[in-house]
Structure 1
Amino acid sequence: MEEFEVSTSSRKTKSVYISTVISIALVLLMTGLLGLILVHAKNLSNYVKENIVLNIIVNDGVTEADILSLQKELDGNPAVLRTQYVSKELAARNLQNDLGEDFVKFLGYNPLLSSIDVYLKADYANKAGVETFSKQISENSLVKEVVYQDSLIDMVNQNIRIIGLIILAFAAILLIIAVALINNTIRLAIYSQRFLIKSMQMVGATKGFIRRPFLGYGILHGLLGGLIAIILLLVTLYFAQEQIPEIVILRNYFEFALIFIGVICLGILISGASTYFAVSKYLRLRMNDLYR
C-alpha cells in the first residue's frame, strides 16, 4: 500500500513537471514569435527604405566616361548602398516598353537624358538624409537635377515609425503577460510540494539546502521549455517560408540566433526567479497556513 502511494505521488510529481515545461514552452513560443515579428518588421522597413530610388539626371552632352566616373564617386559615398547607370538609349527602350510605342521614331530624336539611379542605405533614407544628399550631389557640374518622390519618403518613414511603436507596445504587454503566466505556473507547481518543503525545514534542513533542488529543477524546466519553444519556432519559420518564399530576403541568421538565445535565457531567468520566490514563500509560512 505504501509503495502504491509513493508510486502515485511520483506520477503526480512527474505530471506536474511535464505540464510546467509545456506551459513554459508555449509562453516562450509566443514571446519568440513576437521577437521574430520584430526582426522581420525591422528588416522589412530597411528593405523598403533601401529600395527608394533617387534619379540623378546628368546634363546633355556629358560623355559616358564622365558619367561612369560620377557613378564611381557616388559608390564611394557612405550614404549610398548601390547605384545603376541608365543610358539615354536604355531609358528610351524602357519607356517604349511602358508606352507600347516607339516615341523616338515619332519625335525623330531621343529627348531623354542619361541618369544614375541611386539607392541609399536605410539609415539615410529619410527626409533629412535625402535632402542633404540631394543638395550635395546637385553641386556637381555634371548633374542637371536630382529627382525623387519626397511625399513617398515621408509616407514610408511615418508609417514605419507608427507600426514600430505599435509592435513595441504589443511586445512590452506580451512580455509582462509571459512573465506573469510562467510565474503562476511555477507557483502552482511549487504549491503541490509545499508540505515537502515544510517537512524538510522541520527536520532541520537549511533554507539554502531546501531551495537548491527546486532551483535546479526550475532552471532545468526553463531550459527545456526554451529548447522546445525554439524547435517550434524553427518549424513555424519553415512553414512560413514554404507559404511565403519572398520572406527569405528578410532572413538574418545572426538575429535569429540572438532571439533563440534570448528565449532560452528568458525561460531560465523567469523560471529560476519564480521558483526561488515561491519556495521562499512556503519557507516563511507556518504549518497551519499551508492548508489555506
Structure 2
Amino acid sequence: MSSKFDSYQKRRLRSSYFSVVVSIALVLFMVGVLGLILLKSTRVANTVKEKVAMTLFLKDEVTNEKIFKFKETLKKESYAKKVLYISKENAAKQYSKEIGEDFLKFLGENPLKNGIDIYLKADFVTPEKMHELETRFLKNAFVADVSYDKPLINLLTKNIKRISFWILVVSGFFALIAIVLINSSIRLSIYSKRFNIKTMQMVGATKSFIRKPFIWQGIKLGIIGAFVALVGLSIVVFYIDKYVPSLEILKDYSALAFLGLGVLLSSFIVTWVSTFFATQRFLNLQTDQLYY
C-alpha cells in the first residue's frame, strides 16, 4: 500500500514539475518573441532613418580639390553614415531621365549645382539635430544651400516614437502576465509540499534551510523552461530569416545574444523571487491554515 502511495506521489510530483516547466517555457517564449519584435523594430526604424539624406549644394567657385577635401572631412564626422558627391553634370543627367527629356537643350546652360549627399546615422535623424546641422552647414564658406525633407523627418520621428511607445506598453503588459503565470505555477508546485514545509519547521529547521532546496529546484525548472523557450525562439528566428531575409536577423549576433541572455536571466530572477515568496508564505502560515 505504501509503495503504491509513494509511486502515486512521485508521478504527481513529476506531473507538477512538467507543468511548471511547460508554463515557464510558453511564457518565456512569448516574452522572447516580443523582445525580438522590440529589438528588430528598432533596427528597422534605424535602417529607415539612415536612408534619409541631407544635401549640401556647393558654390560654383569651389574647386574640385576643395570639394574632395571637404567630402573627406565630412566622412570623419560622428553624424555621417555615408557621404556621396554628385556633380552638377551627373545631377543634370539624372534629372533628365526623371522628366524624360533633356532640359539643357531648352536652357542652354546647367542651372544645377554640385552637391554632397550626407546620409546621417540614425541618432542624428531628428528635427532638432538636423536643424542644428543645417544651421552649421549654412555658415560654411563652401555651401550655398542645404536641402532635406523636413515634413518627412517630422512625420518619421513622430510615428517611430508612437510605435515604440505602444510596443513597450504591450511588452510590459505581457512581461507582467509572464511574472504572474510563472509565480502561480511555482506556488502550485510548492502548495503540494506545504505539510512537509511545516513539518520541517516544527522540528526546528530554519526558514533559510527550508527555502534553499525549493529555490534551487525552482531555478533549475526555470532554466530548463528557458532552454525550451530558446529552442522555440530559434525555430522562429530561422523561419523569419528564411522568409524575410532583408531583416538579416541571423547576422545580428548582438541582438540574438542579448535576447538569449535576457530570457535566461528573466527565468532565473522570476523563478528565484517567486519560489522565495511562495515558500515564505507557507512558512508564515499557522498549522490550521494549511487546510484552506
Instruction: State the TM-score, normalized to the length of structure 1.
Output: 0.92
Q: Distance in 2 between matches of 1:71 and 1:107?
A: 30
Aligned pairs for 1:116-127 (under 5 A) are 116-127=116-127
CA deviation profile, 1:270-290 (whole Å, cap 9, x unmatched): 111111211122222233322
Map Cα deviations across residues 202-221 of structure 1 (whole Å, 9 max, x no partner): 44433333222211110101
Residues 168-216 of structure 1 show CA distances to partners (whole Å, capped at 9, x for unaligned) of 2222222211111111111111112222323333444333332222111
Any residues of structure 2 matched to 1:66-215 within 5 Å, and which? 66-105=66-105, 107-215=107-215
Give the counterpart letter for 1:238 in structure 2: F
Number of residue pairs the alignment of both structures matches: 292
Q: Which 10-residue stretch deviates more, 179-188 or 41-50?
A: 41-50
> Which amino acid counterpart does residue 162 of structure 2 have in structure 1?
I
Cα displacement string for residues 220-255 of structure 1 (whole angstroms, at most 9, x for unaligned residues): 011111122122112111111112111117963223
Q: Which blocks of at least 5 consecutive residues in structure 2 are unaligned?
A: none
Aligned to 2:43: 43
1:21/1:221 contact within 8 Å kept:
yes
Of residues 178-187 and 83-92 in structure 1, the stretch that sits farther from structure 2 once superposed is 83-92
SS at match of 1:57: strand
Are the aligned partners of 1:40 and 1:251 in contact in 2 as well (CA < 8 Å)? no
2: CA distance, partners of 1:53 / 1:208 = 61
Write the letter of the residue equivalent to 2:131. E
**Aligned match of 2:54:** 54
Alpha-carbon distance between aligned partners in 2 of 1:155 and 1:249, rounded to the nearest angstrom: 27
SS of the residue aligned with 2:51? coil
Percent identical pairs in the alignment equals 39
Deviates more, 1:245-254 or 1:182-191: 245-254
**Deviation at residue 21 of structure 1 after TM alignment:** 0.8
- 8 Å CA contact retained: 2:51, 2:119: yes
- TM-score w.r.t. the length of structure 2 is 0.92
What is the aligned-residue RMSD (CA, Å)? 2.0
Q: Is the 8 A contact 1:197 1:282 kept in 2?
A: yes
- Asked if the contact 1:43–1:250 (Cα under 8 Å) also holds between the matched residues in 2, the reply is no
CA apart distance, 1:61: 4.8
Which sections of structure 1, spanning at least 5 residues, go unmatched? Answer: none
Determine the C-alpha separation between the residues in 2 that align with 1:250 and 1:64.
Answer: 43
Residue 216 of structure 2 is aligned to residue 231 of structure 1: no
- Which residue is 1:272 aligned to? 272
